[in-house]
Amino acid sequence: MEDLEIETGYLSQVDGSTHYKTSSTTVLCSITGPIEPKSRQELPTKLAFELIVRPAMGVPTTREVAIQDKLNSVLKQIVVGYLYPRQLCQITFQILEAGENVELFDVKEIISCVNAATLAFIDAAIALQSMAVGVVIAVTYGDELIIDPSNEIMQNSKSVHGLVLELVDGSQVVKNVLLLDSNGDFDESTLFKVLQVGEENILKLSKQFRKLVETKIQKSLNN
């Protein structure tokens, strides 16, 4: 996770945005909201979401609909929805580099989108009750766990896992598992090992995120 490049406030015409680049995957996330929804989107008691995922190549397909579905269930958990009744939050993800064989995987894109969205929510100053931070873990045939694997490793690995945890109390306490997307060939003990190693790495990554937010706020205070 050393070669992570993150820039928040990347776009000027939206309320919050993040340019998120890992060693292989790049996504651009923009958030507009709270804004006035169309009447069919409006929810009487909480914030409504409109999520759009655009692929790196071609037009959106069922694959992007499935990614949207997973992202939606993660992101609606961390936002304090009741603060914005009858309002809409529009979240758009543009995948710039998938970093994986799009015919076989979607997990690296999902995890990058979640991380980018968490930071974009902070940039958009939308109230959050927790942070959602995720990692991708591949388990090789030698039972070795690899964090943020390359496409080649994923294609030849025994199983691939995407994990997103909900962090509270200064990102030090894990409140819940928001998303686990495990595919391949594995057993219970491997799954628990993945959860454990994933937790350690997510806590490390969240420290990096908090530092980034801190510097950004410091900078805006100084101006």
Partner 1 sequence: MTDIVEDTIDIHPVSFAPEVLARISPELSLQRHLSLGFRPSLKGFEEFREVELNEDHLSRYGVEHKDNSIIGSNVLKCGKTFVVTTITGGIIEDSTIYKNEENELISLDDTKKTDLTNYTSVFPVVEVERGRAGACTDEEMTLSQKIYDSMLHSKLLPKSSLKIEPGIRITDDDGTMEIIYSDESKQHSAEENSFKTNRKWSYLLYAKIKVFSRTGPVFDLCWNSLMYALQSVKLPRAFIDERATDLKMTIRTRGRSATVKETYDILSDSSKQYPLNLNKENIAFASNYGTITLDSEAKLTEEADEEDIDMDAVETILLADLDTESEETSVNTTLSIISNDKGDLKHVSILGGDANISPDNLRKSILLAQQRAKDLKDKL
Stretch near partner 1 under the rule CB under 8 A, chosen from 31-39, 81-89, 188-196, 201-209: 188-196
Q: How far apart are CB 178 and partner 1 at their closest, in Å?
A: 4
Residue 93: CA count within 13 A, CB half-sphere? 33
Residue 186 binding partner 1, by CB under 8 A = yes
Q: How far apart are CB 163 and partner 1 at their closest, in Å?
A: 9
Among 23, 42, 73, 170, binds partner 1 (CB under 8 A): 73
Tell me the two tokens of residue 100.
Answer: 């994986």
Residue 187 binding partner 1, by CB under 8 A = yes
Beta bridge partners of 146: 138
DSSP string, 152-168: HHHHTSSEEEEEEEEEE
- Number of chain positions touching partner 1 (CB under 8 A): 37
CB of 150 or CB of 155, closer to partner 1: 155
Residue 156 binding partner 1, by CB under 8 A = yes
CB of 4 or CB of 155, closer to partner 1: 155
119 burial via Cβ count (<10 Å: 0-12, 13-18, 19+): buried
Q: How far apart are CB 215 and partner 1 at their closest, in Å?
A: 30
Closest CA to 194 of 132, 110, 138: 138
Beta bridge partners of 168: 173
Please tell me whether residue 124 adopts helix, strand or coil conformation. coil
Binding mask 157-176 for partner 1 (x = CB under 8 A): -x-x---x-x--------xx
Closest CA to 178 of 169, 168, 186: 168
CB of 38 or CB of 219, closer to partner 1: 38
Beta bridge partners of 54: 94
Residue 106: CA count within 13 A, CB half-sphere? 19
Within 103-132, the residues that bind partner 1 by CB under 8 A are: 104, 106
Contact footprint for partner 1 (CB under 8 A): 62-63, 65-66, 68-70, 73-74, 77, 101, 104, 106, 141, 154-156, 158, 160, 164, 166, 175-188, 191-192
